[in-house]
Amino acid sequence: MDGVEGKPDSLPVWIYGAAAGGVVLIVATATIAGHFLWRRKKRQESTERNAMLKAEFIENLTPRKESEEK
């Protein structure tokens, strides 16, 4: 405390640690949330693709009448 009496020259060291910890916590939370959102998007795309393939497969299994082929 070299400055004005009762007022420190700089912030205590723990404040920097707390700020850094807060930043790490925010970045980690955003990363985890982004990962789960990405997984949900991929799962949705996969479900849609599987539904299309299933419909196409069933359509190819059903025998066609000659009138439909022409």
3-state percent helix, strand, coil for the chain, nearest multiple of 5: 75, 0, 25
Q: What is the pLDDT of residues 11-41, one digit of tens each?
A: 788 999 999 999 999 999 999 999 999 999 9
> What b-and-e string marks burial along 46-59, b requiring 16 or more CB atoms within 10 Å of the CB?
eeeeeeeeeeeeee
- Please give the model's pTM, rounded to 2 decimal places: 0.54
DSSP 70: -
> Position 16: which residue type?
Y
Q: What is the pLDDT of residues 53-68, one digit of tens each?
A: 999 999 888 877 766 6
DSSP 28: H
Assigned token pair, 11: 């912030």
